[in-house]
């Protein structure tokens, strides 16, 4: 077996992969631009974005190397909320999510040579009603700026979340149960 390569620079994904028992891997983030304009439903869009990352990194890898890529998107009323480009955009996203349910999709892609497996996970998240002061205080922490939907459930953003239905780790950016099953198909034992 070749190397295991995580096509992400996310410290959360690295931590979750290690938590799964996969500790011998290389980090090689994809550099391509994410095309959020594709006319795909959110589940397929998350998979397509993950697959694009995996293929980009695989182009520089050996035939026995295993590529792992993921892409997380947040949707509200079928509208994709990406990463905010400014504090104002983060405030706007959080105001929109306040007191409402939204869905977090993470697409997964695992490749080795000509073998490709892609899938996705969906988790419903419910925010409690947020005051303008709470939103401003959270945005001031800087935490929302590199996260889809302008929050991180694993950080102070947990204070905004009233409940979830589905995989908590999916909201963090890596559905570990689903990824573990896929990796087992590639001969990577996680248990």
The residue among 18, 35, 17 whose CA lies nearest residue 175 is: 17
* Euclidean distance between CA atoms 74 and 141, whole angstroms: 20
The partner residues of 72 in beta bridges, in order of sequence, read 106
Question: Strand pairing of 4-6 and 66-76?
Answer: parallel
Q: Judge contact between 8 and 53, C-beta under 8 A.
A: yes
Q: Is the dihedral of CA 152, 153, 155, 161 positive or negative?
A: positive
Residue among 71, 77, 119, 146 flagged as catalytic: 71
Is 71 among the catalytic positions? yes
Give the CA distances from residue 61 to residues 34, 51, 58, 115, in Å, rounded to whole numbers and listed in that order.
Answer: 21, 15, 5, 14
- Residue 164: other Cβ atoms inside 10 A: 16
Q: Which residues are annotated as catalytic?
A: 71
């Amino acid at each position: 077996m070749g190397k295991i390569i995580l096509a992400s620079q996310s410290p959360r994904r690295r931590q979750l992969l290690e938590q799964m028992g996969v500790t011998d891997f290389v980090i090689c983030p994809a550099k391509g631009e994410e095309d959020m304009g594709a006319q795909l439903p959110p589940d397929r869009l998350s998979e397509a974005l993950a697959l694009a990352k995996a293929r980009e990194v695989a182009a520089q890898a050996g035939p026995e190397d295993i590529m792992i890529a993921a892409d997380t998107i947040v949707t509200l009323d079928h509208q994709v909320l990406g990463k905010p480009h400014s504090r104002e955009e983060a405030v706007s996203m959080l105001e929109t999510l306040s007191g409402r349910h939204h869905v977090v999709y993470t697409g997964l892609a695992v490749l080795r040579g000509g073998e490709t497996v892609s899938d996705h996970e969906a988790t419903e998240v419910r925010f409690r009603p947020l005051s303008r002061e709470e939103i401003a205080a959270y945005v001031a922490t800087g935490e929302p700026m590199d996260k889809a939907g302008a929050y991180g459930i694993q950080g102070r953003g947990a204070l905004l979340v009233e409940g979830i239905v589905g995989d908590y780790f999916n909201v963090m950016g890596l559905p570990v149960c689903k990824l573990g099953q896929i990796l087992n198909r590639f001969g990577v034992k996680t248990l």
